[in-house]
Amino acid sequence: MARQHIPLGSILGIPVGLDYSWFLIFALLTTLLANSYYPAEFPDWTPGVYWAMGAVTALLFFASVLLHELGHSLVALRHRIRVRSITLHIFGGIAEIADEPSSAAVEFFVAIAGPLTSFALAALFYMLQPAFSPVEPLLGLAEYLAYINLSLGLFNLVPGYPLDGGRVLRAVVWAITGNMRRATVVAANVGRGFAFLFIALGAWQVLSGNLGGGLWIAFIGWFLNSEARAELLRTTGR
Ligand SMILES: [Zn+2]
């Protein structure tokens, strides 16, 4: 996931860019919001408003993902760990941290900073709702962003590598055993377990008739498994 096809500039000295796959997820999310989410929540808007709000909401969702990655990056930089790049792609975003953390505590704080940023954003958009309520599209935007940031924070806390919760697990096992390598193997194997659960859940959803959602969950599981496997290979050579 180090590829970065379209540079957007840099924040805090970190190059920020888009992977080509980002355009696919941006189009999908915009369509989903304009065609089903917003029409179900707010039946009286015109088609133009649905599409404009779909695109604006999708853009602000990815701005939220960028802030989540900046949360990780800020804590890393504070501990003098270089951040090579932040890339938005089909599964969200990734901050590429250049060095291994110097201690279990540093690993823990870098990992937890992302979900905490998402929870803070969820709280912010939740608190904005009363002020936005006279204008339906603004209210809808604040409601969706509160919900999606809460979901993003919670999903990332699933305790399996490469998710943030997996890095927290790695920090905890590292602190207990004093062995970073062993901690990595544990977190990556738990991550593979969760990845297979996602694939099974996705397959079950497909069989129960939810083709799109099921394929998406299975696809995420496949991605998490391949990332966890790659980390195991790097750590153990097998
Ligand atoms: Zn994260």
Q: How far is the CA of 194 from the centre of ligand 1 (A)?
A: 16
Q: For residue range 70-81, list pLDDT tens digits in order.
A: 999 999 999 999
Q: How far is the CA of 202 from the centre of ligand 1 (A)?
A: 22
Q: How many CA atoms lie within 13 A of 26 on its CB side?
A: 16
For the chain, what are the domain ranges?
A: 1-157, 158-238
Q: How far is the CA of 135 from the centre of ligand 1 (A)?
A: 32
Q: How far is the CA of 133 from the centre of ligand 1 (A)?
A: 31
Q: What is the mean pLDDT of residues 209-225?
A: 93
Dist. CA 1–CA 187, nearest whole Å: 20
Question: Does position 152 have pLDDT exceeding 90, yes or no?
Answer: yes
Q: For residue range 62-109, list pLDDT tens digits in order.
A: 999 999 999 999 999 999 999 999 999 888 888 988 888 889 999 999
Full-model pTM? 0.92
Least confidently predicted of 54-58, 188-192, 231-235: 231-235
**Active-site choice (41, 69, 100, 231):** 69
Residue 159's pLDDT is what?
93
136 is catalytic: no
Q: Residue 120: which of 152, 87, 144, 88 has the closest Cα? A: 152
Q: Residue 100: which of 80, 78, 71, 70 has the closest Cα? A: 80
Q: Sorting pLDDT into bands at 50, 70 and 90, what band is 165?
A: very high
Question: Does position 238 have pLDDT exceeding 80, yes or no?
Answer: no
Whether the CB-CB separation of 202 and 215 falls below 8 Å is answered with: yes
Q: What is the mean pLDDT of residues 181-210?
A: 95
Q: Residue 62: which of 85, 35, 94, 34 has the closest Cα? A: 94
